């Protein structure tokens, strides 16, 4: 199974025995799962430190909720929420930082503050100037698929073949970004679980995740954590979806998916380490030390 590297500024990220884990840090009052819990700088920094201690390989900072139907926030408010947090984390942690935004100005200031990844739910399409920011700063980029906007995306989403359609869209976005000067080694792709998809669409995409990654030739990032489709599968409210999230994480690891974006970093990492030991045997002491040093 091919392993894909992801160049992010001066960092090269490479999953080894288990996928890279991107810890979610929402500095918002209204995110679907943890809104309002980390929306002060001190609280956000403490939570990010906890995520890093639990084994997060990347911390993803978001200042605007993109749950279905969420209203947009003003750009100045998004900057106020995110930039002080990223600036503090850049000096406090060695873990690579990601900014979850669709706005070029937010992306630029986040990179200046220390972020090395721009994670854009629109695949760099909502704000055309964000392509230039990513190209010139040499950061890693994550291109996600969605239909419409967070305000409209769940209004009866339809596909001819969801796996083919999403893969084709991502392929076209990768090609477009390359043509605009973003090197392919800096691009990661995301099928957009929960973004313009029904529960059935999400499960079909998750089932095909490994195949999509190989076809696209880039690392695949999957953000399935605590999402609404798990209510359809499990009948559980949002605060009881950790087990479902973890089960899907193991299934994705078995397919060789490169990056998992989750809330419950420690739980997911422990499950993946245990799964890897059963699947592949215990790593040598040298391998453990090397992976620890690489943060992978």
Residues marked active site are found at 227, 261
For the chain, give the DSSP string: -----EEETTEEE---SS-EEEEEEE--S--TTTTTSS-SHHHHHHHHHHHHHHT-SEEEEE-S--STTPPPPPHHHHHHHHHHHHHHHHHH--S-EEEE-S-HHHHHHHHHHT--EEEETTSS-S-THHHHHHHHHT-EEEEE--SS-TTTTTSS---SSHHHHHHHHHHHHHHHHHHTT--GGGEEEE--TTSS--HHHHHHHHHTHHHHHHHHTS-BEE--TT-THHHHHH---GGG-HHHHHHHHHHHHHTT-SEEEES-HHHHHHHHHHHHHHHH-PPPHHHHHHHHHHT-
């Amino acid at each position: 199974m091919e392993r894909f590297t992801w160049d992010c500024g001066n960092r090269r990220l490479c999953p080894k025995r288990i996928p890279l884990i991107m810890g979610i840090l929402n500095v918002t009052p209204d995110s679907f799962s943890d809104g309002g819990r980390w929306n002060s700088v001190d609280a956000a920094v403490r939570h990010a430190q906890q995520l890093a201690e639990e084994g997060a390989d990347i911390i993803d900072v978001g200042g605007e909720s993109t749950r279905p139907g969420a209203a947009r926030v003003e750009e100045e408010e998004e900057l106020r929420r995110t930039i002080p947090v990223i600036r503090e984390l850049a000096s406090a942690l060695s873990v690579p930082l990601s900014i979850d935004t669709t706005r070029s100005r937010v992306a630029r200031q986040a990179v200046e503050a220390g972020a090395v990844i721009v994670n854009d739910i629109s695949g760099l399409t909502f704000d055309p100037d964000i392509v230039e920011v990513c190209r010139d700063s040499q950061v890693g980029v994550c291109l996600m698929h969605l239909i419409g906007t967070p305000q409209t995306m769940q209004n009866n989403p339809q596909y001819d073949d969801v796996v083919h359609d999403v893969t084709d869209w991502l392929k076209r976005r990768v090609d477009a970004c390359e043509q605009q000067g973003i090197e392919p080694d800096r691009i990661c792709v995301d099928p957009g679980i929960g973004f313009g998809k029904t529960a059935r669409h999400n499960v079909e995409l998750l089932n095909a995740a490994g195949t999509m990654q190989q076809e696209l030739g880039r690392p695949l990032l999957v953000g399935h954590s605590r999402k609404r489709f798990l209510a359809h599968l499990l009948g559980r409210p949002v605060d009881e979806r950790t087990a479902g999230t973890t089960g899907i994480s193991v299934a994705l690891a078995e397919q060789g998916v490169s990056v998992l974006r989750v809330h419950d970093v420690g739980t997911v990492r422990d499950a993946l380490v245990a799964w890897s030991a059963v699947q592949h045997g215990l790593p040598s002491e040298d391998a453990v030390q090397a992976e620890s040093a690489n943060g992978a």
